[in-house]
A and B are shown apart, each in its own frame.
Chain A
Amino acid sequence: MSVKRAARIAYLLLIYGFLYLPILVLVVYSFNDSKYSLEWRGLTWDWYQALLDDPDLWQVALNSALIATLSATVATVIGTMAAVALYRYRFFGKTLLNGLVFVLMLTPDIVMGIALLILFTSLSLPLGFWTLLLAHITFSIPFVVVSVLSRISGFDRYLIEAAKDLGASEFQTFRRVLLPMLAPAVLAGWLLSFTLSMDDVMVSFFVTGPSFEILPLKIYSMVRLGVTPEINALCTLMLGVTLSMVLVAQALLRDRGT
């Protein structure tokens, strides 16, 4: 019995180790007081300090934050409206649209990146800020739709009728009933979009130009010269931001369930 149990625990540790050990190593080495060797030489904040002192990197980080904020916001507005429309109305092609949302989510990034690149160049749009923004909005929308739709589907279907019955117009119904009830899902969708945008390499790689650099691509190019402790530190920071956002999103979706 205890042998079986020990085996089971070992198996579990192996799985978790395989999944999370690399990340843990990265985080640990971001504090390692050694520039080139993998040998542990004690704790240091130097690499984080170096990041703070790098104005170039700051600019790139700000670019990323700007794109993430804008794309998440636009995607949230469009995605929320789409979800409400999918729930509320019957229209031609509704099932198709519903399916396309999932297709978009499952499309390999490389396919989407190349597809968007072809689109932008055929429209002769210069690659840079705007193309990047459009691309990020595009791949974020389905995640907002799914997040909002899953919440709205759990609603009592008579709530909207009840609001109208009590004298609310279409807009008042949306403003006073649907939106407040959807708020957690809308916010969760925003946070999800933000993190997706923050760490996207593949699609961004195709649709941005040299004029506008963002963090994931910057790291990608830095890594080509070798993994430095600064990169570990930077990745650790991104991990922290992403993780906390996802946690907040999860908490919002679970909380205040009706």
Chain B
Amino acid sequence: MKSDAVIELRNVSKAYERHTVLRNINLQVRAGEFLTLLGPSGCGKTTILRLLAGFEQADSGEILIAGRDMRALPPEQRHINTVFQSYALFPHLTVFENVAFGPRLQGVRGADLQERVLEALRMVKLEDYSARRPGQLSGGQQQRVAIARAVVNRPLVLLLDEPLSALDYKLRKAMQIELKQLQRRLGITFIFVTHDQEEALSMSDRVAVMNAGRIEQLGTPRQIYETPENLFVARFVGEINTLFGRVVAVDPPYYDICVHERIVRLKSKFIFASGDRVNILIRPEDLRIWREHEGSDEERATLFPAAVEDVVYKGSTVDLIIRLDNGDRLSTTQFFNEDDQAIVNLDFQPGERVFVDWVHDWEVILPHED
């Protein structure tokens, strides 16, 4: 474990004047992995990149790259390259010269240089554009040049600072796939910064969710999405419904929890005591909607009565906003199901009376936070 960490941050803190941006960050990045730093703006994710690149100095703690302490090393001597959010291409140089900038400084010349630059341009499918200037390229093409300019140096680690945020939706989707494929092909460690949770989940091997200078949770996209460790992570990564409850009986790992005057028996990896207040978190796609004529009276006794407030047709799904009779608002996502005739149309009407429950065990129970 220790040997394959290409980057290691130990107790790293950083403040600008009196404003603390990083608090005691500990992070190990494995060689060859795609790690994403995900968080709202101002959470410190970009600062981590700048510390790694060498544009900023940490106030305390250690930063190791390939086992070497980086503190005294200026950016130009680090074996790390960055793809900037604005691309920062040199406008006075052609695409070829932009990509050749790094290798030239390393002393690569002549045919070697030609070959290396063209190889990098081929990789991003821009070999026909080498004579153009950045100003003559589209946003997506400039983005690719920025990537080629960085990877041509064969860095240990590639840092990407929200590189897709300036692209339109379709292009961004396409570039996400391309970037992921490129990373697999090159085997270079990618550290990717974004505030877009969908982007983070779909591209990364691991995601570090950050908030207010701390890493709230580090894990695979699946762990982050399905078992968030706290309310911040749960709410930041995807949409989630929160039901408030109180523990009434304890039988670890099972707990009887009173939710809206109904007792539900749920499993949790946390230890709770009787009387503890908890939040039950349920993803919209895990909520089940029952129409009035569905289910027996017996089944219905365990369901929560509600009314449909809004119906949002999204093509492959229908999102319902429903209000429980006690006033809580929940959002649900219903998939068209060919096998279930009752649901197949999903033709819910606003105001319609329904019943709600969820697939037990797919919820996450967290201690209540004020």
Contact = CB atoms under 8 A, between A and B. Distances in A.
A166 B153 contact: yes
A162 to B, nearest CB: 4
Contact of B76 (A164, A180, A181): A164
Interface in A119-164: 156, 158-159, 161-164
Interface stretch (B101-109, B238-246, B305-313, B315-323): B101-109
Interface stretch (B78-86, B341-349, B362-370): B78-86
A165 interface: yes
Interface centre among B53, B74, B84, B153 (most CB of A within 10 A): B84
A236 B55 CA distance: 55
Interface string B123-157: 00000000000010000000000000110010000
A165 B74 contact: no
Interface stretch (B11-19, B88-96, B187-195, B331-339): B88-96
B86 A156 contact: yes
Interface centre among A165, A168, A177 (most CB of B within 10 A): A165
B40 interface: no
Contact of A168 (B54, B91, B105, B149): B105
Nearest to A160: B88
Interface residues of B, number: 26
Interface centre among A161, A162, A164, A256 (most CB of B within 10 A): A162
A95 interface: no
Interface in A209-256: 256
B101 A166 contact: yes
Contact of A162 (B77, B80, B88, B92): B88
A167 interface: yes
A165 B75 contact: yes
A258 B76 CA distance: 25
A167 B102 contact: yes
Contacts of B77: 167
Interface centre among B77, B84, B92 (most CB of A within 10 A): B92
Count class of interface residues, chain A = 10 to 19
A169 interface: yes
A162 B102 CA distance: 10
A169 B92 contact: no
A177 B105 CA distance: 13
A103 B85 CA distance: 38
B106 A161 contact: no
Give 6 nearest A-B pairs by CB, closest first: A162-B88, A158-B88, A166-B102, A258-B91, A167-B105, A164-B75
Given A164-B76, A165-B75, A165-B82, 11 more contacts: A156-B88, A161-B82, A162-B88, A162-B89, A162-B90, A165-B76, A165-B80, A165-B150, A167-B102, A176-B101, A177-B90
20 contacts: A156-B88, A158-B84, A158-B85, A161-B53, A161-B75, A162-B82, A164-B54, A164-B55, A164-B75, A165-B53, A165-B80, A166-B101, A166-B102, A167-B76, A167-B77, A167-B106, A176-B101, A177-B90, A180-B92, A256-B92
